[in-house]
């Protein structure tokens, strides 16, 4: 990945992370079922997308890897 594209992607990720860097606190009265529900909030989805983009861009992983059967198997396990 060319350096200018990598730096641009990292800058974009850094800006997004700055505005969405909040942590959720688990209240004492919340159960594990509440914490591990099947629904994922939009903020968590955005964080996962940014982490995945950062992995691909910074490690120089080609985007066509998503067509590989091992990658597809990995995604299914999520």
Structural domain boundaries in the chain = 3-21+39-77
Rounded Cα–Cα distance for residues 74 and 15 (Å): 28
- 3-class secondary structure per residue, the chain: CCHHHHHHHHHHHHHHHHHCCCCCCCCCCCCHHHHCCCCCCHHHHHHHHHHHHHHHHHCCCCHHHHHCHHHHHHHHHC
Query: What would the pLDDT profile of 39-72 be if each residue is shown by its tens digit?
Result: 888 898 999 999 999 999 999 999 999 999 999 9
Mean pLDDT for all residues in the chain: 79
Do 35 and 26 contact (CB within 8 A), yes or no? Answer: yes
Do 56 and 63 contact (CB within 8 A), yes or no? Answer: yes
């Amino acid at each position: 990945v060319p350096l200018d594209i990598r730096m641009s992607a990292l800058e974009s990720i850094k800006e997004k992370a700055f505005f969405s860097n909040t942590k959720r606190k688990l209240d004492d009265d919340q159960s594990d079922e509440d914490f591990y529900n099947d629904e994922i909030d939009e903020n968590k989805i955005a964080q996962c997308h940014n982490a995945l983009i950062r992995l691909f861009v910074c490690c120089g992983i080609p985007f066509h890897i998503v067509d590989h059967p091992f990658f597809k198997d990995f995604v299914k396990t999520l």
